[in-house]
Amino acid sequence: MDALRIAAFSYNNKGGNPAGVVIGSEMPTEKEMLETAKQIGYSETAFLKQVDDGWRVRYFAPEMEVEFCGHATIANAAVKPVVQIRNTLRLARVSRCCRYARQ
């Protein structure tokens, strides 16, 4: 499983808040996501899989799954062009789907 390390909110490759990002054709198992998050060692790692007109995303800290992570969401968008519908980024989380407007 290839994991990218991205610093959200950085400027000229300095500073920022690091997050792991893993994009796959299938969502890994919960055990695999937890192992990967531990190996990366950042506060959060996002796991993405494209579904329909958006992305299925789950966030993991090294110890457990977390419901949402802002800087990992920013890192997601920086890694791969996202599917957009009317300038909206659509992410399906564990508990519900949410939309984030781009400005």
Residues taking part in catalysis: 44
Which is it for strands 97-101 and 88-92: parallel, antiparallel or unpaired?
A: antiparallel
> Do residues 46 and 72 make contact, with C-beta atoms less than 8 angstroms apart?
yes
Tell me the C-alpha distance between 58 and 60, whole Å: 7
